[in-house]
Amino acid sequence: MSFLKIENVTKSYGSLEVLHRVDIDVEEGEFLVLVGPSGCGKSTLLNMIAGLEEISSGEMSIKGKVMNGVHPSKRNIAMVFQSYALYPNMTVAQNITFGLEMHHVPKPEREAAMNRVADMLQIKPLLSRKPGQLSGGQRQRVAMGRALVRNPDVFLFDEPLSNLDAKLRVDMRTEIKKLHQRLGTTIVYVTHDQIEAMTLSTRIAVMNGGYIQQLGTPKQIYDNPANIFVASFMGSPSMNMLPATLRLNGADASVEITDAQGQPVHLPVPVSPDAARLYDGRSVILGIRPEAVTDPDGADKNATTVVHLRNLVDIIEPAGSDTFITTTMAGGDVIGRMRADADVAPGQVCDLALNMDKAVLFDVESQIRIQ
């Protein structure tokens, strides 16, 4: 039985349905990230798990117990908010133990729990301070400590790092990952940042328009996107999308695109069990990640199908460990990721290596993956 089960859940405001028949099973100890653009329904779903929003239809259960209609205080969940939600007139120690005090936990137990999480989060020197005397990162650690001290069934994180600067976000990501590995707790985490989703999760639910677009491991989501939205949203830079024409020759398949000079180029693509849905001359969208468009020396040595072609480079963007290039294919911009020391310059025709093992095809109309 799933530890947290969300079954056919919807959310409506009047006649407007904003969350549509969501089905997710979360196992004990799993780190599930809900990711998607603003307004996709991820925070609404998190609030329904917490009991802060009512479920319009469907069922949600924790450890086999149905939570529909159960008050938030009775759900044994702990939530970390984007805004920290700390009491400004209380010290760090009082903020951490306030929930335990409200549940009439004896003082020695409260202090022992506080010291345990203070050591874990390295905030012991801050216990006598008030929130106004803390940095953003310190406040977020205190908010996490307030959640950890309770030993709940499920931790809920609502965009906890969005108010932090870039370096601090990376540091806090590492801390949250360490905590999960150390404690083995069940976490549901909301973010709009796909890097957070990829680095933190054991599984990701990609959401858009109130629907779950795809549910899977980070590798499944990245390598085998279910549709164009998932392919474009997950990855930085996002997957290149090229209009193409399918060409079939017996058991072999390729796609025809144009290079920077408008000349046709044929790129082989693997034939999958979906081959029956493919036909010669069909218009498709070819998806290929930037790291699969690189310089010959940077190409994956284990790839079985690497196509070499010469193409004009329009822009280069040195990024320290990599050099990103922009070239033109199929009448649009294509981003490639090359080695930092790749010999390339704007306006130069250079050798490119395309790893077609990583290519995927999408239907033009439905935008669903077909290959």
Please report the pLDDT score of residue 322 as a whole number.
Answer: 92
Q: CA of 156: how far to CAs of 79, 174, 183, 275, in Å?
A: 5, 17, 15, 42
In the predicted model, what is the mean pLDDT of residues 340-367? 92
Pick from 296, 333, 292, 303: nearest CA to 315? 333
DSSP class of residue 228 equals H
In the predicted model, what is the mean pLDDT of residues 250-265? 86
Does the structure show a pLDDT above 60 at 206? yes
CATH of 4-233 given 3.40.50.300, 3.30.750.24, 3.20.20.10, 2.40.30.130: 3.40.50.300
Please report the pLDDT score of residue 60 as a whole number.
Answer: 95
pLDDT band at 28 (very low <50, low <70, confident <90, very high): very high
Mean pLDDT score across all residues of the chain? 90
Please report the pLDDT score of residue 276 as a whole number.
Answer: 55
Residue 122 · residue 53 · CB < 8 Å: no
Domain spans of the chain?
A: 4-233, 240-363
Please report the pLDDT score of residue 148 as a whole number.
Answer: 83
Class of domain 240-363 (CATH, top level): mainly beta
Does the structure show a pLDDT above 60 at 2? yes
pLDDT band at 217 (very low <50, low <70, confident <90, very high): very high
156 vs 102: CA distance, rounded Å: 20
Please report the pLDDT score of residue 280 as a whole number.
Answer: 79
Please report the pLDDT score of residue 121 as a whole number.
Answer: 83
Listed in sequence order, the DSSP H helices in the chain are: 42-50, 92-102, 107-121, 136-148, 166-183, 194-200, 218-223, 228-233
Same fold yes or no, 4-233 and 240-363: no
Residue 42 · residue 34 · CB < 8 Å: yes
In the predicted model, what is the mean pLDDT of residues 94-117? 88
In the predicted model, what is the mean pLDDT of residues 51-76? 92
